[in-house]
Amino acid sequence: MKTSNKTNVWLIILAIILIIVPLVMKKDAEFEGADDQAEDVIGEINPDYEPWFDALWEPPSGEIESLLFSLQVAIGAGVIGYIFGMMKERRNIATNR
């Protein structure tokens, strides 16, 4: 196996460990979003606070909201990966001339 393949395998193993360890260490933790936490704190500080506007569309369930967020993350990661790949390929073409 080439060195770059070994590096990739170790990076994948490290990523899996980084995902699993917090879930094992904090079994009963609630993983809620920062928006919900901020809303709770604002409610404690000023109970009479009213938001400036409401959401245009509220997803019918938490699962659909998570799905849409995951889709947004995947699209963003794809765009960033494409840009980095394109930059690397341009650099390779320029150095091989």
Phi, psi of 83 (to 5 degrees): -65, -45
Q: Please say whether the beta carbons of 59 and 65 come within 8 A.
A: yes
Task: Give per-residue pLDDT as tens, 49-90.
Answer: 888 888 888 888 888 888 999 999 999 999 999 999 999 999
* pLDDT higher than 80, residue 33: no
* pLDDT for the residue numbered 62: 81
* pLDDT for the residue numbered 1: 58
E strand or H helix at 21: helix 3-25
* pLDDT for the residue numbered 13: 96
Residue 47, token pair as written in the block: 């109970």
